[in-house]
Amino acid sequence: MRVLDVRDGHIAEDVESGRAVLQEAIDHPSNTVAIIRGSKPEVSSCAARIETRCEPFQWRVAIWVRDSRVFSEGQEAELFEGHDFDIFCAVVLNIENKRSAWIKSTATLFEIDRSLREVESGK
């Protein structure tokens, strides 16, 4: 899992490099991409569960955007389509870069795996 954050004193370079990493993951032609947002403790737990379900499969990529400044203007709102920040901490993009599933911060390993498999099967 790639973790994208912004350090004090390195804001411009971290935002620029983070955006490049995020866009590269989104643009990859054959990956299922889970984009996680936020840095609350419940997001951290969910990020670990998402990583667990992505790690065994080379076509699954998890990107954790801990600082929202990494998103380009309007990108976070577009990706999460108004899904409540306090409930949904991740979005899953299919290989066509379409938003196909949203993951709650309380999701279990089973629920995360099911979401990823449904996206990959085209449901």
Q: What is the pLDDT of residue 17?
A: 98
Q: What is the pLDDT of residue 83?
A: 87
List alpha helices for 1-123, DSSP H.
11-27, 41-54, 75-80, 109-121
Q: What is the pLDDT of residue 114?
A: 97
Alpha carbons within 13 angstroms on the beta-carbon side of residue 95 total 11
Residues of the chain with pLDDT under 50: none
> Domains along the chain?
2-121 (3.40.30.10)
Q: What is the pLDDT of residue 82?
A: 84
User: What are the structure tokens assigned to 121, written together?
Assistant: 């099967």
- Nearest C-alpha neighbor of 102 from the set 66, 85, 25: 85
Q: What is the pLDDT of residue 85?
A: 85
Q: What is the pLDDT of residue 98?
A: 93
Q: Rounded to two decimals, what is the model's pTM?
A: 0.95
